[in-house]
Structure 1
Amino acid sequence: MGRIPNLRDLVGIIKDRVSQSKAAVISKPRTLSLRLALLRATTHDPFSPPNPKHITTLLSFGHSSRATVSAAIEALMDRLQSTHDSSVAIKCLIVVHHIIKHGNFILQDQLSVYPSTGGRNYLNLSNFRDNTTPLTWELSTWVRWYASYVEHLLSASRVLGFFVCSTSSAVAKDKSEERVAALTNSDLLKEIDCLVNLMGEISKRPQPVHVHDNKLVDHIMTMVTEDYLSAISDISVRVHEFTHRLSCLSFSDSVELVCAFKRLDDCKESLLGLSAKKRSLVESLWSSMRELKNKVGEGEVKRKEGQLLMLTSGRGERGSESARIGERVLSQGDAVRFSSTRFVSTHGCAFPVVESLQLCA
């Protein structure tokens, strides 16, 4: 049997119909279909996610002019930031998430630059409260967390140059290894850091009480889990790349990398419960991280031993200037080291085939 609507549900239905009727009267003809689709996708029903048909209609506006797309994003954000209803706020965030995942370039571009300041608390929902009922109070917790998660998703996209979970970024991901290999150690660490921050935010998700078996919350977690598996894949590519750069890592880079792994390891228990089907993929990442962390530690020990040996030997006879000049000049067989050793031949010489590769400092 279906759930029997209560008084609040009936009030929500009336509000939705009044809003749609009002939009039909006051909206201009060119924006009427947009506003109706938005209102229909973001109803006051606290149990059901937006109808896929209405989501598809909103995404279709991405094929319009840039001015129309800008108006669509502005209307969505206005509804999100002006509502005091937790159900409406969550559904607006779901629409934003769908734009990130399935929207075309113009929609994603307009979303990423709104507002122009961006930055922390991008969606301005950290203080959202709806204390109408125990259910809406708990949904408010989900609004605050989900908004923060979407902010991290948008922030990560600025660092990576593409949205982690976007279907439109398939081409970029197909060439992910080539792109990652061309990054400097510093840029690669920034990408690892933003992906780890995203995973950390996922681990902070609320624990359902009144919203247990709520389809609205289930829809959120289905989308977030897809992002999580995509982020796991992106982190794995970068961890694999760092295994080729151990000899090129400075001490500060090594510390930063190990700290990122430590932060990710701290939220492992929470993350493992997200997807039982892909548990082997997750375990593989943690195994690779553990192995790399051990190698980084061993490398630092050897480096300290080498420095100590140099200091000790430096107290003896240093030799003449002419005797030491050969140490500072590259011989014909010496290799120039690039950030990624995957471009080194079997003869020990580096191939300068990627112009954007940076020489190790």
Structure 2
Amino acid sequence: MGLITNLRDLIGIIKDKASQSKAAIISKPKTLSLNLALLRATTHDPFAPPNPKHITTMLSYGYSSRATASAAIEALMDRLQSTHDSSVAIKCLAVVHHIIKDGSFILQDQLSVYPSTGGRNYLKLSSFRDNTTPVTWELSSWVRWYARYLEHLLSTSRVLGFFLCSTSSTAEKDKEEEKVSALTNPDLLREIDSLTSLMEEICNRPDSLHMHGNELLEQIISLVGEDYLSSINEISIRVDEVNHRLSCLSFVDSVELVCVLKRLEDCKERLLALSSRKKALVESLWSLISEMKGKVGDGKAYKEEGRLLLTMGRKDAGSESARFGERALSYSDSVRFSSARFGLNEYALQVNVESVESCA
């Protein structure tokens, strides 16, 4: 087995040297350094993560012109799509992940174009298979999952309006809370739903039976773990905001809320095993989710709306009163303030109740 492993490693080294030599011969002077940096960051070694120096070099192409950044992303995606080697593919994805986390705005902007413009999805690797060895076969499952995860990460970042990152200052958190408080209920639920989908994809991470001690996978797990902590923080802000708005959620929004909270709870056990950091925040989040499910499930926040719907449903379908529902304000049409923290949502709901009852 040791001989086979050494032979495979030797073949990988030869392939890397050959690729770099070929690039040095056929590359144009303007793209030579880019191609060499990319090849060095995405070698055929299935155990060694990309060298931080080469990652930094790749990120540096985002601090020049937009054309340079576009060329870097194009070269990266071409290498990802053209390779049949699981080691190269997963390292290309790792470079993509580093761009999402640490790249410049121009580089991130060029990257985010690929999955969202309706054209080819360069992260669609659901059919990727490398059956060269048992190791590469198992690594292939990581390639498929990692590509799906990065798709979700880009999609969620697009919904939120910013790229999820590993750290945020107190000032940034306060600014985010202020922005979230201004969201409409549907937009707020949409962001929670997107973050929940990201959590679900994290839970789909492959279980490695033969990859223990693989530094490449350990780095990927670390990168995803940082995203998880950032996502938990964003979910916590939004769930707390929804908790303040329970009295002004429509029936449809309340059903959607229950569904998304249930999905989050289904991820609980797997997510708790990911990291012991921010333990207090995580535990408070699960406690709040459980409490909110009880409130919404009991329907305590919707008794007035339910009574109105029942009353209007008993009206004669041919009567003027029944038809007046088309002209009267419904709950969803009433003036709805962004956050119940301002103490105005109950007033808006009462105005809506009185409007409908006066027309009955």
> Under a length normalisation based on structure 1, what TM-score does the superposition of the two structures give?
0.84
1:355 corresponds in structure 2 to none
Q: Which moved more, 1:209-218 or 1:138-147?
A: 209-218
Give the counterpart letter for 1:16 in structure 2. Answer: D
Measured after TM superposition, the shift of residue 277 of structure 1 is: 3.3
Q: 1:219 to 1:309 in 2, by over 3 A?
A: closer
- Please give the alpha-carbon distance, in whole angstroms, between the structure 2 residues aligned to 1:270 and 1:79: 33
Measured after TM superposition, the shift of residue 282 of structure 1 is: 1.6
1:302 corresponds in structure 2 to 303
Give the counterpart letter for 2:82 in structure 1. Answer: S
Measured after TM superposition, the shift of residue 174 of structure 1 is: 4.6
Measured after TM superposition, the shift of residue 168 of structure 1 is: 9.3
Paired residues of 1:189 and 1:257 also in contact (CA < 8 A): yes
Give the counterpart letter for 2:229 in structure 1. Answer: L
- Please give the alpha-carbon distance, in whole angstroms, between the structure 1 residues aligned to 2:131 and 2:170: 42
Measured after TM superposition, the shift of residue 28 of structure 1 is: 1.3
- Please give the alpha-carbon distance, in whole angstroms, between the structure 2 residues aligned to 1:72 and 1:312: 61
SS where residue 114 of structure 1 aligns? helix
Counterparts of 1:293-332 in structure 2, within 5 Å, are 293-298=293-298, 299-300=300-301, 302-303=303-304, 306-307=307-308
Counterparts of 1:279-358 in structure 2, within 5 Å, are 279-298=279-298, 299-300=300-301, 302-303=303-304, 306-307=307-308, 338-344=337-343
Counterparts of 1:127-166 in structure 2, within 5 Å, are 127-165=127-165
Paired residues of 1:102 and 1:168 also in contact (CA < 8 A): no
1:35 corresponds in structure 2 to 35
Measured after TM superposition, the shift of residue 157 of structure 1 is: 1.3
Give the counterpart letter for 2:155 in structure 1. Answer: S
Measured after TM superposition, the shift of residue 117 of structure 1 is: 3.4
- Please give the alpha-carbon distance, in whole angstroms, between the structure 2 residues aligned to 1:58 and 1:225: 23
- Please give the alpha-carbon distance, in whole angstroms, between the structure 2 residues aligned to 1:152 and 1:174: 25
- Please give the alpha-carbon distance, in whole angstroms, between the structure 2 residues aligned to 1:194 and 1:281: 20
Q: Deviations over 1:65-85 (max 9, x none)?
A: 000100000000000010000
Q: 1:213 to 1:118 in 2, by over 3 A?
A: farther
Measured after TM superposition, the shift of residue 227 of structure 1 is: 0.3
Measured after TM superposition, the shift of residue 118 of structure 1 is: 4.9
Counterparts of 1:91-170 in structure 2, within 5 Å, are 91-114=91-114, 117-118=117-118, 122-165=122-165
2:358 corresponds in structure 1 to none
Measured after TM superposition, the shift of residue 3 of structure 1 is: 11
Paired residues of 1:62 and 1:69 also in contact (CA < 8 A): yes
Q: Deviations over 1:26-62 (max 9, x none)?
A: 1111111111110000000000100000000100110
- Please give the alpha-carbon distance, in whole angstroms, between the structure 1 residues aligned to 2:223 and 2:134: 25
- Please give the alpha-carbon distance, in whole angstroms, between the structure 2 residues aligned to 1:120 and 1:26: 27
1:237 corresponds in structure 2 to 237
- Please give the alpha-carbon distance, in whole angstroms, between the structure 1 residues aligned to 2:37 and 2:27: 13
- Please give the alpha-carbon distance, in whole angstroms, between the structure 1 residues aligned to 2:171 and 2:110: 21
Q: Which moved more, 1:69-78 or 1:4-13?
A: 4-13
Measured after TM superposition, the shift of residue 175 of structure 1 is: 1.2
Q: Deviations over 1:98-121 (max 9, x none)?
A: 000000100000000025635896
Paired residues of 2:166 and 2:226 also in contact (CA < 8 A): no
Q: 1:34 to 1:173 in 2, by over 3 A?
A: farther
- Please give the alpha-carbon distance, in whole angstroms, between the structure 1 residues aligned to 2:193 and 2:120: 16
Counterparts of 1:64-83 in structure 2, within 5 Å, are 64-83=64-83
Q: Deviations over 1:203-258 (max 9, x none)?
A: 00000111111101100000000000100000000001011211210001000011
Give the counterpart letter for 1:280 in structure 2. Answer: A
Unmatched 5+ residue regions in structure 1? 315-327, 329-335, 351-361
Q: 1:277 to 1:180 in 2, by over 3 A?
A: closer
Measured after TM superposition, the shift of residue 6 of structure 1 is: 1.1
> Under a length normalisation based on structure 2, what TM-score does the superposition of the two structures give?
0.84
Measured after TM superposition, the shift of residue 4 of structure 1 is: 9.7
Give the counterpart letter for 1:105 in structure 2. Answer: F
Measured after TM superposition, the shift of residue 295 of structure 1 is: 2.0
Measured after TM superposition, the shift of residue 304 of structure 1 is: 6.6
- Please give the alpha-carbon distance, in whole angstroms, between the structure 1 residues aligned to 2:5 and 2:139: 18
- Over aligned residue pairs, what C-alpha RMSD do you find? 3.0
Give the counterpart letter for 2:105 in structure 1. Answer: F
Paired residues of 1:102 and 1:167 also in contact (CA < 8 A): no
Measured after TM superposition, the shift of residue 159 of structure 1 is: 0.8
- Please give the alpha-carbon distance, in whole angstroms, between the structure 2 residues aligned to 1:252 and 1:215: 47
Measured after TM superposition, the shift of residue 308 of structure 1 is: 8.4
Q: Deviations over 1:298-348 (max 9, x none)?
A: 42563477448967999xxxxxxxxxxxxx9xxxxxxx7513022348xx9
Q: 1:166 to 1:104 in 2, by over 3 A?
A: farther
Give the counterpart letter for 2:6 in structure 1. Answer: N
Paired residues of 2:166 and 2:229 also in contact (CA < 8 A): no
1:197 corresponds in structure 2 to 197
Paired residues of 1:100 and 1:166 also in contact (CA < 8 A): no
Q: Which moved more, 1:336-345 or 1:39-48?
A: 336-345
Unmatched 5+ residue regions in structure 2? 316-327, 329-334, 349-360
1:319 corresponds in structure 2 to none
- Please give the alpha-carbon distance, in whole angstroms, between the structure 2 residues aligned to 1:171 and 1:61: 30
